[in-house]
Amino acid sequence: MSALLLRNADHLVTMDDERRELRGADVLIDGGVIREIGVGLRHDATTIDVSGCVVTPGLVNTHHHLYQTLTRAVPAAQDALLFGWLETLYPIWSSYTPAHVFISAQVGLAELALSGCSLTSDHLYLYPNGTRLDETIHAAAEIGLRFQPTRGAMSIGRAQGGLPPDDLVEDEADILDDCIRVIDAFHDGSAASMCRVGIAPCSPFSVSRDLMRDAAALARDKGVMLHTHLAENDEDVAYSLKAFGCRPGQYAEDLGWVGPDVWHAHCVKLDAEEIALFARTGTGVAHCPCSNCRLGSGIAPVAALRGAGVPVGLGVDGSASNDASNLVAEARQAMLLQRVAQGADTMSARAALELATRGGADVLGRPECGRISVGARADLAVWDVSGLEASGSWDPAALLLAGPTTVRDLFVEGRAVVRDGQVTTLDLPKLISRQAEMTRELMEAF
């Protein structure tokens, strides 16, 4: 891999430990690592002019369901709350094949890349018709994003009092065996890793206590992270109180689901005691503001979480509840919601960008990502602020107030995934055409 020199950035927003912002700066990257930062750097490297641009760390997405890009704006699910939304979509997802999951993942990953995302997690918790986690892993490898897939699962179907249909749940022994398989086959714990596998039983209303406990023990034995949905809305909390006799935070603590190796999605309804628990244990949160708005779940207490010291990152969530996979839009929505809830000075544009960069990287256990500093991985997003979106802006580095929502360039491990606004690693028009064909077939079947 040849060295690259990004030269003369109008604004270099580093998100390093000092939160430095540099003017007219250069970044030298080589071997997948940031080697030098400064003004007027000289090196025998391929030079890319980034004048007229803001350069940030690649953005980090901490929660997604990539398989859902085939089911955007399904009419019967457009105005439903979480449980009804799931019940509408489960039958469609039951008909998926491995090809559906692969194509859907590639579309979601391409959309993320164009929004500046270099590192994303994914939560695949249903495996119909021979589908495996491998489909999403191969999709991410082809497009070139840094990937943190999680082996999700559902084991409690309707016959046992759960929410999912019985044909979408799995035997718990089989789930754990497959977790071992995918970890052994794909997990790479190195700093340069392009794929780290996690374990992610879907939610308290779709798996047993035993599976949650066993999953935690297995993850710690294998040295991988844990992920699930928690306290997403009032229905979720009511289910926990009725089924387990405790709030979601207590449920998580009782089963070993707190700690720096755990991150929970949503957490809209955490109370003060649960926030203190997460802060004390270093448990992370994936904040998904657009999905929470779309499903009417509420506004997560992000200001309180951050004030208490809870690690918080952003997640776009699945495209069946967000309708998009744009991490810049997610960061702006996070900023706006906190301002609506608590005042305009509650979250700045830079604080929201921090959630989308180093905040998310820290939640995913990747402190080598999400910042531009010497020795960090060479994941950088280049934003052209010379166009219409930023025209008239007095502060181009405040991207979330007035700036583009797609990148000019995206580098992941020093490789160009997006150049001049185009994905370089796959044929996007062909991919979109295939996705449209699959969507039509699903619509005709349902």
Q: Please answer whether residues 262 and 225 qualify as being in contact, where contact means their C-beta atoms are separated by less than 8 angstroms.
A: yes
* CATH code 3.20.20.140 region(s) in the chain: 59-363
Domain 4-57+371-423 has CATH 1.20.1260.10: no
Q: How many helices (H) and strands (E) does the chain have?
A: 14, 17
Residue carrying the six token digits 């997640």: 315
Q: Which of 298, 276, 280 is nearest to 289 (CA)?
A: 298
Per-residue tokens: 393: 């802006």
pTM (whole model) above 0.75: yes
Just give the CATH number of 59-363.
3.20.20.140
Cα(412)–Cα(409) distance, integer angstroms: 10
Q: Please answer whether residues 350 and 21 qualify as being in contact, where contact means their C-beta atoms are separated by less than 8 angstroms.
A: no
Quote the percentage of the chain above a pLDDT of 70: 100
Cα(151)–Cα(182) distance, integer angstroms: 8
Helix 209-222 and helix 172-186, axial crossing angle in degrees, nearest 10: 20
Quote the percentage of the chain above a pLDDT of 90: 97
The C-alpha angle with vertex 64 and arms to 59 and 69, in degrees rounded to 5, equals: 110
The string of pLDDT tens digits covering residues 279-291 is 999 999 999 999 9
Give yes or no for residue 161 having a pLDDT over 90.
no
pLDDT of residue 163: 85
Q: Which of 298, 376, 310 is nearest to 338 (CA)?
A: 298
The string of pLDDT tens digits covering residues 331-365 is 999 999 999 999 999 999 999 999 999 999 999 99
Q: How far is CA 168 from CA 151, 158, 171, 444, in A?
A: 15, 10, 10, 21
pLDDT of residue 84: 92
Cα(334)–Cα(347) distance, integer angstroms: 9
Cα(191)–Cα(389) distance, integer angstroms: 36
Q: How far is CA 143 from CA 44, 102, 266, 339, 356, in A?
A: 28, 12, 27, 36, 21
User: For residue 234, how far is the Cα from the chain centroid?
Assistant: 23
pLDDT band at 149 (very low <50, low <70, confident <90, very high): very high
Q: What's the whole-number mean pLDDT along residues 315-327? A: 95
Per-residue tokens: 69: 């890009």
Neighbour count for residue 191 (Cβ, 10 Å): 14
User: For residue 215, how far is the Cα from the chain centroid?
Assistant: 21
Q: What is the DSSP string of 174-192?
A: HHHHHHHHHHHHH---STT
* Run of H or E including 19: none
The string of pLDDT tens digits covering residues 203-248 is 988 999 999 999 999 999 999 999 999 999 999 999 999 999 999 9
3-state secondary structure of 6: strand
Helix 172-186 and helix 134-143, axial crossing angle in degrees, nearest 10: 30
Residues in CB range of 99: below 8 A, 6 or more apart: 438
The string of pLDDT tens digits covering residues 31-47 is 999 999 999 998 999 99
The string of pLDDT tens digits covering residues 42-95 is 899 999 999 999 999 999 999 999 999 999 999 999 999 888 999 999 999 999
**Backbone φ and ψ of 163, nearest 5°:** -90, -40
Cα(305)–Cα(16) distance, integer angstroms: 21
* CATH code 2.30.40.10 region(s) in the chain: 4-57+371-423
